[in-house]
Amino acid sequence: MTQFVHKLFVWGQHCINALYPAQCIECGRYGELLCAVCAQKVVPLSSSVCFCCGRPQPAPVQFCLTCQNRAAHALQMARAAAIFSEPLRTAIHHLKYEQKPELAQILARYLVAVFQTAPWSQRATSIDAVIPVPIH
């Protein structure tokens, strides 16, 4: 019975996609929620980031001035997937406020790419949480 329900759901999704094709949230092209042209505009963070807070730095450093001057704290390492600019800003807004949960899978690819790079890939077993930071 569950296979039947799953097949019915998949068939229904195909029908909906045929009647209402996805449209790029940035440029309006039909076909995908974030087209390939707009996806290439997402700017990944460079490797020059503070090891602790993940803020971009002009040159490779272990810790930024803020983290160097801070007393010991619980946060060991934080990272963002990319620079918070267009089209990433629009995609996150649509995910959170325009009821487009299907964007989560697209945005997750950027986060996975960060986790697959050092030092994250070396610490995969010690990651305690992945926390979405609210935007206002």
Q: Give the per-residue pLDDT at 134.
A: 62
pTM: 0.71
Both tokens of 110, joined, read 């950027």
pLDDT digits (tens, 9 = 90+) for 81-131: 888 899 999 999 999 898 888 899 999 998 888 878 766 666 666 777 777
pLDDT digits (tens, 9 = 90+) for 64-86: 898 888 877 777 788 888 888 99
CA distances from 84 to 46, 61, 72, 88, 135 (A): 13, 21, 28, 6, 10
DSSP state of 125: G
Query: What's the alpha-carbon Rg for the chain, to the nearest Å?
Result: 19
